[in-house]
Amino acid sequence: MPRPTAFPPELAAALSARIAGDVRFDDMSRGLYSTDASIYQITPIGVVLPHSRDDVLAAIEIAARFEVPILPRGGGTSLSGQTVAAALVIDFTRYMNRVLEIDLERKLVRVEPGVVLDQLNAVLKPHGLQFGPDVATSSRASLGGMIGNNSAGSRSIRQGKVIDHVRELEVTLADGTRLRCGPTTADAVSALASSPGPVGEIHREFPRIVAENRREILAKYPRILRRVSGYNLDAFVPELYNQMPLAPVPRELDRQWPDRSEFNLARIFVGAEGTLGTVTEALLHAVPLPRHRGVILLEFRTIDAALEATPTIIECEPSAVELLDRNIIELSRQNLKYRKSLDFVSGTPEALLIVEFSADSQVAIQDGLQLLEQKMKGRPGLDRFLPAATPQQCEQIWNCRKASAPLLLSIPGARKPIAFVEDTAVEPARLAAFTRRFRGILSKHRITGAYYGHASVGCLHIRPMIDTKSAADLAILRAVSDEVAQLVQEYGGAMTGEHGDGLARSYHNLKLFG
Ligand SMILES: Cc1cc2nc3c(=O)[nH]c(=O)nc-3n(C[C@H](O)[C@H](O)[C@H](O)COP(=O)(O)OP(=O)(O)OC[C@H]3O[C@@H](n4cnc5c(N)ncnc54)[C@H](O)[C@@H]3O)c2cc1C
């Protein structure tokens, strides 16, 4: 049972007096907000559903007066516990969920944080546009939450992460200061630094802190496409930022928008999981929606064979390479909703790779598929190529991929594939070796795991099978977490490539980042 969280009795009344939106302190609401998609459960102090940025400001000011922490929240689909706390939760999805403006000429879209990704993409699609990062939870993940976690998705090898697509943010800080941040020239940063109050202090102190810790940042930040652990300090050290691999779509945005190389404070709020400020509005880049997609499934005899093949597949410039293990294949076959998704997979492969090509012409898709077949022919451990014949089949495959985590949770028994080291990322060329070592850690503790995720960018969702009601298994959980963190460090990788640190992983950051 979650322990009840105490709160000052006058807090609810003070909030209700100033807030036009909803203020909920009843047990039912607090119970509803005590969980997210993680293994944690913590009852919040209360919940505010703001109507406007003024409501947000009022909630933050009142919380500060009562010395109560605040926790911004979107869809609550986070996997590492960053949306549960003994705090005042501010849920943006109920009312602050409007797409405010679309600038088609500049391909920019202004949103409130509670807009859900599918909702945004439905508005952009008629204009041939989309938001780049494509989380599997697109039907419920909000833009505020995606910004908070610096989310990515299956197509990040092409589209990048949220940080690559945020242009400006409006943020309210814990002391009620409202900041608008976006690309800022060096002269403008100097001018801001000499302004009074918190804005001046931030523009003086933040560049100083980055400069003082430059050497440490250069030494500790991994040079991989997928790192969301820690804060985005690397985005403020230009020589490091230039060493980072960049996906083609953000690279094109950089070409079109030279001011993206300027100082942009918005980037420190991306991926900060709400710990530095609360986003009340965002100006985002929208990117072209490819006209055609083609999907092929590759059946492998082992996970290792699939991961060893991945670097060669990447040479064909696919828009996604996703791994599904045998667990997911079998569970989808037993599931009423998904059993048709993979019905053309006839054998019993240990691993499937879903490879997708995206382009504006069908010819380019066929070229990609042909090149892939050529390069993969005779590959050890590869049994079959299974091209999806119709757009419906492509959609079914993607639906099944998106359902991987829920399918896995239907595994019977006390031990479940749970999320706590489920988002490690390494350079794709090292993924096979890294995964073998990861499996070795699980074997040492006599447990198994479920494997799926974004092979294209070295970010696998490996979920160890743990019984969270067993003290012995909880000791294993802690040991596995520490050993995986050490392994990640050895491989120059990240503990999280998209899901965020939350409660599950932030304690490793001191070791990883200094
Ligand atoms: C089955 C499943 C599949 C998933 N697949 C993916 C995937 O493919 N790719 C991926 O990247 N992630 C994935 N996730 C993780 C999660 O869905 C994403 O991180 C998602 O973007 C979170 O959105 P949300 O609205 O649920 O945010 P929440 O979970 O509500 O919040 C996320 C973080 O953002 C902060 N936050 C929320 N709103 C604000 C705001 N206005 N201002 C400041 N901070 C704010 C919160 O405090 C929290 O720290 C998956 C999760 C599940 C359960």
Question: Best substitution site from 47, 73, 226 to test ligand 1's pocket, by max atoms within 8 Å of Cβ?
Answer: 73
Parallel, antiparallel or unpaired: strands 166-172 and 351-359: unpaired
Instruction: Give the pLDDT score at 5.
Output: 65
Question: Residues 307-326: what's their mean pLDDT?
Answer: 97
pLDDT given for residue 37 in this prediction: 96
Supply the residue whose CA is at minimum distance from atom 39 of ligand 1: 144
Work out the mean pLDDT of the chain and round it to a whole number. 95
| pLDDT confidence bin for 242, thresholds 50/70/90 | confident
Q: Kindly report, residue by residue over 137-187, the tens digit of the pLDDT.
A: 999 999 999 999 999 999 999 999 999 999 999 999 999 999 999 999 999
Cα of 339 vs centre of ligand 1, distance in Å, is: 28
101-113 pLDDT per residue, tens: 999 999 999 999 9
- For residue 87 and ligand 1, the question of a CB distance below 6 A is answered with no
Among 149, 265, 269, 423, name the best residue to mutate to test ligand 1's pocket (greatest count of ligand atoms within 8 A of Cβ): 149
- The predicted pLDDT at position 1 comes to 45
Determine how β-strand 88-91 pairs with β-strand 70-73.
Answer: parallel
Nearest-CA residue for ligand 1 atom 31 is 145
Least confident of 160-174, 186-200, 218-232, 322-336: 322-336
The radius of gyration computed from the CA coordinates of the chain, to the nearest angstrom, equals: 23
pLDDT at 332 over 60: yes
Question: What length is written for the chain?
Answer: 514
Tell me, what's the pLDDT at 318?
97
Q: CA 512, 226, 315: angle at the middle one, nearest 5? A: 135
150 alpha carbon – ligand 1 mean position (Å): 8
Q: If you measure from the C-alpha of residue 77 to the centroid of ligand 1, how many angstroms do you get, rounded to a whole number? A: 5
* Cα(447) to centroid(ligand 1), Å: 28
Question: Of the residues 77, 225, 423, which should be mutated to test ligand 1's pocket, given the most ligand atoms within 8 Å of the CB?
Answer: 77
Measured torsion, CA atoms of residues 402, 275, 161, 352, in degrees rounded to the nearest 10: -30
Distance (Å) from CA 36 to ligand 1 centroid: 10
How far from the centroid of its chain's Cα atoms is residue 161's Cα? Answer: 8
Q: How many helices (H) and strands (E) does the chain have?
A: 21, 20
| More confident: 64 or 343 | 64
Q: Is the CB of 273 under 6 A from ligand 1?
A: yes
Task: Count other Cβ atoms within 10 Å, centred on residue 79.
Answer: 26
Residue 321: both structure tokens together: 């390479």
Please report the pLDDT score of residue 3 as a whole number.
52
Instruction: For 417-458, write each residue's pLDDT tens digit.
Output: 999 999 999 999 999 999 999 999 999 999 999 999 999 999
Domains assigned to the chain: 9-91 (3.30.43.10), 99-288 (3.30.465.10), 291-398 (3.30.70.2190), 411-514 (3.30.70.2740)
| pLDDT beyond 80 at 27 | yes
Amino acid, res. 156: S
DSSP 422-452: TT-B--GGGHHHHHHHHHHHHHHTT--EEEE
Give pLDDT, residue 339: 80
Q: Is the CB of 114 under 6 A from ligand 1?
A: no
Interval 452-482: pLDDT, tens? 999 999 999 999 999 999 999 999 999 999 9
Residue 9 is predicted with a pLDDT of 83
60-69, 128-137, 348-357, 397-406: range with lowest mean pLDDT: 397-406
The more confidently predicted of residues 446 and 348 is 446
- Place 257 in a pLDDT band, splitting at 50, 70 and 90: very high
**Mean per-residue pLDDT for 373-393?**
91
Compute, in angstroms, the gap from residue 278 CA to the centroid of ligand 1: 14
For residue 146, give the ligand 1 atom closest to its CA: 21
Does residue 81's CB lie within 6 angstroms of at least one atom of ligand 1?
Answer: no
pLDDT value at 4 more than 70: no
